[in-house]
Amino acid sequence: MSAVTTLERMESSSNTRELLTLNVGDQIFGIPILQVQDVLGAQKITRVPLAPPAIAGSLNLRGRIVTAINMRACLGMPDRDAGAKTMSVVVENNGELYSLMIDSVGDVMNLPYSDYEKNPATLSPQWRSLCQGIYRLKDKLLVVLDVPRLLEGLQPQE
Amino acid sequence: MDDLIVEFLTETNEGLAALDLDMVRLEQNPNDKELISSIFRLMHTIKGTCGFLGLPRLETVAHRAENVMGRFRDGNLQVTPEYVTLIFESFDRIKMIVAGLEETGSEPQGDDSALIEKLDAVYEGRDGNTQNTKDGSKGDGKEDELQALFDATPVLPQDQWHTIVTVPEGDEGDAAKAMEEAAAAPPPPPPAPAAAPAAKADDHGAKASSGPVAEQSLRVNVDVLENLMTLVSELVLTRNQLLQILRAQKDTEFSGSLQRLNHVVSELQEGVMKTRMQPIGNAWSKLPRIIRDLSMELNKKIDLVMEGENTELDRQILDMIKDPLTHMVRNSADHGIEMPADRLKAGKLETGRVVLKAYHEGGHIIIEIADDGKGLPLAKIKEKILKNGLATEEEVASMTDQQIQQYIFKAGFSTAEKVTSVSGRGVGMDVVRTNIEKIGGSIVLKSVEGKGSTFFIKIPLTLAIVSALIVEAAGERFAIPQLSVRELVLASSKSSIKIETIKGTPFFRLRDQLLPLISLKQLLGLENDGGDDENRYIIIAQIGAYQFGIIVDKVFDTEEIVVKPVSNILKNIEIFSGNTILGDGSVIMILDPNGIAKAMGETDISDANAGKKTAQDENKVEKTSLLLFTTADGTPKAVPLSLVARLEEIDTAKIEMSSGTAMIQYRGQLMPLMPFDSSVNLKTPGKKPVLVFVDETSTMGLVVDKIVDITDEIVNVQVAAGAGGVIGSAIIAGKATDVIDVGHFVRSSNKDWFKRHGDEAYGEQSTEGRKVLLVDDSPFFRNMLTPLLKVAGYQVTTLESPLHALQMREDGEKFDIIVSDIEMPTMNGFEFAQKVREENSRWKDTPMVALTSHATPQDINHGMNMGFSRYIAKFDRDTLLSTLSEALVSNDASKVKSAGGLQ
């Protein structure tokens, strides 16, 4: 984690940061590229019975067990039609690997910090807790995902 | 924290552990010079390092303690228990300061002057002990300086001096040789820790001075080893994958190399596993001190014997059993071993023994904790069981000693009269068992009262790689640890093993035990697809002494799997204990039988015959099976199911009329039909449900609109309705329901319905107008029976309690016959009968009939002895009336006989 932040700091000194864009439903999201470990295509996922609905299951990534998170469920969107291809973005949190299941990935964008804005007031509370901020792109809004917060939120309440 | 401090902490903690052990030994062997020297050296090292690192508090305490130790070493102070306690006190103080140092990085504030004063007093010979006189010179300073000089000078250790000095006089040549030899002799090994993998600061390594000679060893960070372990596990998995592929193929050029790879990987796995192995002695190292302190505290004499301390087991497991072991040893000392006087009286040696044994067996480690104390007090345990309401008296009476002993594993159970600081809080054994079972182990108890108790703990050698059975349910595969699988059984209509249901819960019979079953599909909320109702595979799992069956669809084979912990997000799903990657690369969840048992609602894990108990329990609760139905107005109505002979459905088109009564041809006879009430229209076309009541040759069908359900409820008829046909209302299935009076309907259909019994043998006169007293605490039954009796021609008086009845007796009332229930709250039927049969009771000769659900031969005998003339089971309507008449007739006959003539 400290490696990432150092690099991020280096990035900020250049006034832009690189985000991997991804699509879930009609919304475009961004994750700082340095948080992304892998981008995967469709995977064989083992269901975990009795798990919360946001957990799609587990998958095997080069010998490590990765927990698959259904992003649509997290964001309160309906599931995709069966048969639609999914992609996943693998991130790490607290030593564990998670695979965020999304619709598709987009490009890596290099966006200036000056365009970074706080969450608009109109953002739903559910999304507000998952989003760090937004970027205004030419014709749409890009929401920056707060991955650690998303994953913390899924932990069982003690 | 400073690296130096970290190292210091590790070493000091190890040193302190060894010191504890050594001091206990010293107390038992006060003149062992070796021991004293080694203790002194350890203290000295600690003191030196403290000084070097600038830890004044530690240095002072260590220094003062070292002074006292010095006097022991010099031989001018005897080692006594009091002094040992004082030294222990200083060890504890050092431990405390070290703990504080660990936490905050610097010494905690505190005042040690009291302890220091005590130590100094002993050192200087002014502690009031007449044996303690410090010879000669005062002036500590000077002595200390000398001491310091001595220590600072690099000289050969003391024992080597002897070698040099004792050369025979006058033998110069030999002296030279001897000196050479002495110089060449290797110095005694430094007190370096011998254990290989060093755990974090609070682990206990075996010190060279306390046992075997220091082996060549290396300190390795735990994380490095863990990493190595993970990598090897991955390798094992990959190897499994390759092997699987190989199996599917014919001989290829890969075969040879792969086989070699296979062997090498297996050996590598074994080797790496070994690095995690530690001798169990490490878990036992604290125990001698604990026993010593306990013996002092409790004024008992206790010896601790440890066998097999070199038996090795996985570090992880070691950590998990440390506390349970400590707890059990404390229990043995506190509860098991008796006071010395008591032991002598019992013919035992004054000193009790607690024996710890460890050895390998199969793929497990067995640890025994035995004491020769007084064993488990069966009487006290029985008392506690009853007091805590864990079982009834009858159940307790039928248990074996072993079963009773198992109760100590229940939460909150403690037969200790007082809660001492040592034990008695009743949170012990259940936690012990849980912890042991968590690692896949089991614990068994054997105890003989008066002789002692032994606990046998069986734990697997390693946690990481486990044999598991792969099963499938609803198309998903799961793994179950082989250890918990006791048996695998196939239940099908063709096999002898069948699945039975008791009150909706599936059970099955395994040899002569009834085991509860749970469907894995159901438990996990998976869809009911796949799997075959004809053939079900049942996995019989065992947790401790509790067995149960898990129904699955398919069973594959056993595989060695690497257990990986579940993601944090999933860690609270108790049914899974981990997950793993199979040879084909798929991830599957590992089931935890403990979690499954909990989910079944069976937290009671000591009774393997839970099924049997449930079946027995049924009879005790007075629930009535009721059939619920509705008529057109929709209000729910109920009728006792036992009264209904059959449920039929008729086509209204088939109903025929005969002299005003609706009839239908039914089983070769004509059955009169009655609509329940005017709302039930027999003329509307279609099918209608019919409740068929049968009594010997009479049949009658009650037509209703809709059958709703069958339910078992405790029926409490609250409101007695006036309308014929309804006894009253009760709350059934949460709704106000009319309980119907079957008698009314059957009589309306056939006024001779009940009279059939009585007509031939007993003329109407014999029962007409006879007074019956009905005593039963249940309003339902009173309401049920009253119309029955009335119709048979009796004058019925009903009472709730025998106390009222006895009151009536005092008031001068008389009855021809008394019908009484047995189970009543205020006074039971047996007592009532006894009272009725008392010498000057007005009712002494009144026939009494017992009407009850307790109808075992014992009950009947008991009833007869108490004074009942007849004994019949409830709801046996037929028998009731015939019995009553019969009882009356025989009573008349006997009265007439005694009056000396025939009527």
- For B576-591, the pLDDT digits (tens) are 888 888 877 789 999 9
Asked if the Cβ–Cβ distance from B576 to A48 is below 8 Å, we say: yes
Q: Which residues contact B551 (CB under 8 A, 6 or more apart)?
A: B491, B506, B517, B518, B519, B520, B521, B536, B537, B538
Residue B254 structure tokens: 């890969």
Give the closest-approach CA distance of A39 to chain B in angstroms.
Answer: 19
H helix intervals, B54-184: 56-74, 81-104, 113-123, 140-152, 158-165, 172-184
Closest-CA residue in chain B for A60? B587
Residues of A whose CB is below 8 A from B240: none
pLDDT of residue B589: 94
Supply the pLDDT for residue A158. 46
- Architecture of the domain spanning A3-152: Beta Barrel (2.40)
ipTM: 0.85
Query: Which three-class secondary structure state does DSSP give residue B868?
Result: coil
Q: How far apart are CA B288 and CA A21, in angstroms?
A: 64
**How close is the nearest chain B Cα to the Cα of A139, in Å?**
37
**With an 8 Å Cβ cutoff, are A96 and B568 in contact?**
yes
User: Do the Cβ atoms of B107 and B56 come closer than 8 Å?
Assistant: yes
H or E element in which residue B863 lies: helix B857-866
Give one DSSP letter per residue of B601-645, joined into a string. T----S-TTHHHHHHHHHHHS--EEEEEEE-TT--EEEEEGGG--
Q: Under an 8 A CB cutoff, do B587 and A60 touch?
A: yes
Exposure letters A18-46 (e unless 16+ CB within 10 A, then b):
ebbbbebeeebbbbbbbbbeeebeebebb
Mean pLDDT of B725-732: 77
Pairwise pLDDT comparison (B53 vs B462), residue with the higher score: B53
Decide the pairing of beta strands B624-630 and A87-93: unpaired
Task: Give B239's Cβ-side CA count (13 Å radius).
Answer: 23
Interface contact flag, B572 A60, Cβ < 8 Å: no
pLDDT in tens, B138-176: 344 455 667 666 666 665 555 555 444 444 444 455 555
From chain B, pick out residues whose CB is under 8 angstroms from the CB of A154.
569
List the single residue in B476, B569, B581 with the smallest CB-CB distance to A60.
B581
**Which residues in chain A come in under a pLDDT of 50?**
1, 158
Relative to beta strand B505-510, strand B656-658 is: unpaired
Kindly list the residues from chain A whose CB atom is less than 8 angstroms away from the CB atom of residue B564.
Answer: 65
CB of A65 within 8 Å of a chain B CB? The answer is: yes
**Cβ separation of A48 and B568 shorter than 8 Å?**
no
Q: Residue B315 burial by CB count (10 A; 0-12/13-18/19+): exposed, middle or buried?
A: buried
Q: Which of the pair, B839 or B478, is modelled with greater confidence?
A: B478
pLDDT tens string B279-308: 888 888 888 888 888 888 888 889 899 999
Is some CB atom of chain A closer than 8 A to the CB atom of B571?
Answer: yes
Contacts of B526 in chain A (CB under 8 A): 49
Q: Which residues pair with B845 in a beta bridge?
A: none
Is the model's pLDDT at B213 over the cut of 90?
no
Q: Is B527 on the interface with A (CB under 8 A)?
A: no
Asked if residue B269 lies in contact with residue B234, where contact means CB atoms within 8 angstroms, the answer is no
Interface with chain A: mutation pick from B223, B226, B567, highest number of A CBs within 10 Å? B567
Residue pair B224/B456 in contact (Cβ under 8 Å)? The answer is: no
- With CB atoms and an 8 Å threshold, state whether B581 touches A154: no
pLDDT of B210 reads: 38
Measure the CA–CA gap between B84 and B293, rounded to whole angstroms. Answer: 11
Tell me which H or E stretch contains B517.
strand B513-519
Window A:66-105, CB contacts with B under 8 Å: 67, 94, 96, 98
Mean pLDDT of chain B: 76
A59 touches chain B (CB under 8 A): yes
Residue (of B258, B157, B68, B232) closest to B562 by Cα position = B232
Crossing angle for the helix pair B172-184 and B158-165, to the nearest 10 degrees: 160
Chain B interface mutation, best of A44, A55, A65, A94, highest count of B Cβ atoms under 10 Å: A65
Nearest to B575 among A50, A57, A96 (CB): A50
Q: Please state, in angstroms and as integers, the Cα–Cα distance from residue B337 to each residue in B351, B417, B427, following that order.
A: 9, 16, 20
B153 in contact with A, Cβ within 8 Å:
no
Place of tokens 């039954």: B781
Cα–Cα distance measured from residue B601 to residue B574, given in angstroms and rounded to the nearest whole number: 13
Paired tokens of A147? 């991955």
* pLDDT above 90: percentage of residues in chain B: 4
Helix (H) / strand (E) element for B322: namely: helix B315-331
Six-digit token string for B595: 């979690």
Cβ–Cβ contact B570 with A under 8 A: yes
Query: Does B448 contact A at CB distance below 8 Å?
Result: no
Taking the Cβ of residue B576 and every Cβ of chain A, the question of whether any pair is shorter than 8 Å is answered with yes
